Amino acid sequence: MEGNSFSRRGFLLQSVVGAGGAWLAAAWPGVLAAQQHAHHTMSAVAAGAPAKLEYFTPAQAADVEAIASLIIPTTDTPGAREAGVVYFIDRSLRTFAADQQKPFAEALALVDGKRKERFSGSADFASLTTAQQTEILKAIEDTPAFGTFQFATVAGFLCNPEDGGNRDMAGWKLIGFDHAPTHSPPFGYYDAEYVAEQAAARKRAKP
Amino acid sequence: MRKFSPSEEVDFVIVGSGAAGGVLAKELSTAGFRVVVLEQGPYLHEGDFQHNELRTVFQNALIIDWKRQPTTFRKTEQEKAHLQPALMYGRMVGGGTVHFTANYWRFHEIDFIERSKRGPVAGADLADWPITYADLEPYYTKVEWEIGVSGQAGVSPFDPPRSKPYPMPPLPIKSTGALLERAALKLGWHPFPAPIAILSKNYRDRAGCVHCGYCEGYGCEMGAKSSTLASVIPEAERTGRCEIRPESYAHEIRTDAAGRATGVAYFDAKKRENFQKARAVIVSANGAETPRLLLLSKSSQFPQGLANSSGLVGRHLMFNSGSEVNAQFEHPLNEYKSQVVTRVLHDFYELDPKLGFCGGGGLDMRFDQMPIGFALDGAPRDVPRWGAEFKAHIQRNFTRTAYVFCHATSLPVPTNSISLDPDVKDEWGLPALRVTYKDHPDDLKTCEYLVARAMELLDATPALRKWSWPVREQQFGVHLLGSCRMGNDPKTSVINSDHRTHDVPNLFLCDGSSLVTSGRGQPTMTIQALAFRAADRIVHLAKRGELGTPARPSRS
């Protein structure tokens, strides 16, 4: 994988060989079958029931959430943690991305190996300081494992909430994406300005 | 919808229901012929299309799945090809017209006669078409009115002559269109409203676009995008003489002792083999699958593959070259709303030969991403891929980013080809598509030239920052063109100007493979104009009794 050096277009069209390699290579075969599951789970969350982990152990989930929170941290706005990214990943590994269980486990093992190497007395990744966690993530930044975490985090942060992530549309609100079923012109600043100028010009042209 | 039994000999079997196959199905069934269309993909309907990026884009819901249908790639014929997604196409009823961006400019006069005008180009087999723009003009107009294209005639001074205006006005301008238009006018260039195969208002029995924004890469859930699924295929079915048979994967065209096609063998959804008998066969399977099907259909009678006495089946593959320049702006563009392109430039369509390369291009400005795709790949290289700075980037720039896209020539290089991979098989046990491709050096020079123009354009906008990606040799094709080219000489072409193969009198090919040159991108409009024209030619031949079809087809 060539990291950032391929073009955006190349990424979209060559998605299988693009960023997030292993994760994207999944055929996402059962994603539609998973829809009902995701709906069901999300409606439980919406009803105030606590979200449940179905794949990760609590310790694994804590590590995954710590990694996701480094990728999209909580700042003055919600991050991966508030958007429930760990629950999205947990569910997807049980359902439509089940064939990613092995690569995901390997990615976590790589992180854990680095932790033991660098911070031998530590218990797990989640209990390290943010500076220590950052050091480890930096060390694996150019590996396929990082791509796996990055894709899963971004997808969990910005997917349709019905797929189990982007809780309260935290990701969409952050980037200014209005998921309305229809829109009307003007759509943005420059076309609004253009249309206003055209109208003014027409008005001036009238005797 | 009428159903036929495979053992019932229909007049035409058409392989593929995309841009060309859909048009041919409608035209031939309307003319009174009985038609079966074999489509390898599923029959999805408007209700199946979702506003869901993860499922649609990252699940490859509407295109080939390389796990089931692998492709291999190599740059030159000396190399062994390796497994890699090397091309994509729409795999469903409607084909690529379901997910396309719907840019519908016409090819210009130069595209049909560039060889005569420019002379030979070393390393390419540039040829004139056996037809001219004037021959195709009535059919371009037919596409605009039959399938529904929005646009404004008479704005671009570079537009070729036309016999009729567009049937409906352009779609509303977006911020990228406004930025492009103002900057281009400052530079003395000639921006014009993009011709788009999406309805800007209600047209016939279809509703106009509501600007949902899930457009490029998505199926239109309300049928405003003029895919063949939304436009001509329902009309074909309404004749009562056309069956669209989905999940039918054609793998062999069979012939009789006289060398005439007898029908098409295909696998159904359960991988059972069937054979659809027909009096004539039309292949519109796209510029990769059409040559592959001919090569798969080799026999003792046709040892090089069917209709391949020239040895050119699969050769002269052209992807269209392309490049892009990116920019960020101060104010929100909100380009994720509505369809994609609203203004186009053709000032560089035909370039001065003194520049030293052969080619040209069209420019547009767009932002064709949804949230996940943008977050993964929408940043300049100096922005980190994670952490607070990454988060600040997606927060600020999702609504403020745009790209200038340069669409350009690919010259026809004989060694760029589709062939059968000798080792890799697909899920049905058939040899995989092998792509051999290396851009002609002139194509790369054209792209470099257009990047410089795109930078000039952005310099005339209030962009806060601009960056480009290096022009590189392509390894992935979306436009699949030229691989069974049209021509008068059976030694240097695969089909004649009636789309009839030189070798098999009742076998026709019509899709991207028929193109002799690549234009400057946006080939679907031309593929559909060819399909409307091919239908006229085929009806003419049938009425002369040359195809074994009834000369006066029943209209019952």
Angle in degrees, CA B530, B532, B534, rounded to 5: 65
pLDDT at A18: 34
Average pLDDT score over chain B:
96
Distances (CA, A) of B27 to B22, B232, B239, B553: 9, 9, 10, 13
What is the CATH number that goes with domain B176-216+321-408+440-473? 3.30.410
B460 touches chain A (CB under 8 A): no
pLDDT at B381: 87
CB contact under 8 A, A189 and B333: yes
How far apart are the C-alpha atoms of B51 and A95, rounded to whole Å? 20
Residue of B214, B201, B135 whose CA lies nearest to B486? B135
B428 touches chain A (CB under 8 A): no
pLDDT at B393: 97
B467 touches chain A (CB under 8 A): no
A159 touches chain B (CB under 8 A): yes
pLDDT at A96: 87
**pLDDT tens, residue by residue, B145-159:** 999 999 999 999 999
Tell me whether domains B1-75+87-149+226-310+483-556 and B176-216+321-408+440-473 share a fold.
no
CB contact under 8 A, B337 and A73: no
> Would you say domain B1-75+87-149+226-310+483-556 falls under CATH 3.50.50.60?
yes
DSSP string of B450-512, one letter each residue: HHHHHHHHHHTTT-SEEEEPPP-----BSS-B-TT-B-S-TTT-SB-TTSBBSS-TTEEE-SG
Burial profile B465-479: b = 16 or more Cβ within 10 angstroms, e = fewer: ebebbebeebbbbbb
Q: Which residues of B touch A181 (CB under 8 A)?
A: 51, 210, 212
pLDDT grade for B339, boundaries at 50, 70 and 90 = very high
pLDDT grade for B480, boundaries at 50, 70 and 90 = very high
Handedness of CA A189, A191, A193, A195 (dihedral sign): negative
pLDDT above 80 (res B229): yes
CB contact under 8 A, A158 and B371: yes
Joined tokens for residue B541: 């031949």
Q: Which residues of chain A have pLDDT under 70?
A: 1-50
pLDDT at B551: 64
Among the partner-chain residues B88, B337, B387, the one whose CB lies closest to the CB of A183 is: B337
**pLDDT tens, residue by residue, A87-115:** 999 999 999 889 899 999 999 999 999 99
Kindly state the average pLDDT of the residues B11-23. 98
Residue of A158, A188, A151 whose CA lies nearest to A172? A158
pLDDT grade for B450, boundaries at 50, 70 and 90 = very high
pLDDT at A52: 83
**pLDDT tens, residue by residue, B410-422:** 999 999 999 999 9
Among the partner-chain residues B324, B369, B386, the one whose CB lies closest to the CB of A150 is: B386
Higher pLDDT: A47 or B211? It is B211
pLDDT above 90 as % of chain B: 95
Q: Which of A8, A13, A141 to mutate to test the interface with B (most CBs of B within 10 A)?
A: A8
CB contact under 8 A, B178 and A194: yes
Kindly state the average pLDDT of the residues B262-282. 98
For helices A85-94 and A101-118, the axis angle rounded to 10 degrees is 130
pLDDT above 90 (res B210): yes
How far apart are the C-alpha atoms of B357 and B355, rounded to whole Å? 6
pLDDT at B330: 98
**pLDDT tens, residue by residue, B59-115:** 778 999 999 999 999 999 999 999 999 999 999 999 999 999 999 999 999 999 999
A49 touches chain B (CB under 8 A): no
What residue ranges do the domains of chain B occupy? 1-75+87-149+226-310+483-556, 176-216+321-408+440-473
Cβ-contact B454, B183 below 8 angstroms: no
pLDDT above 60 (res B351): yes
How many Cα neighbours within 13 Å face the side chain of B391?
21
How many Cα neighbours within 13 Å face the side chain of B336?
22
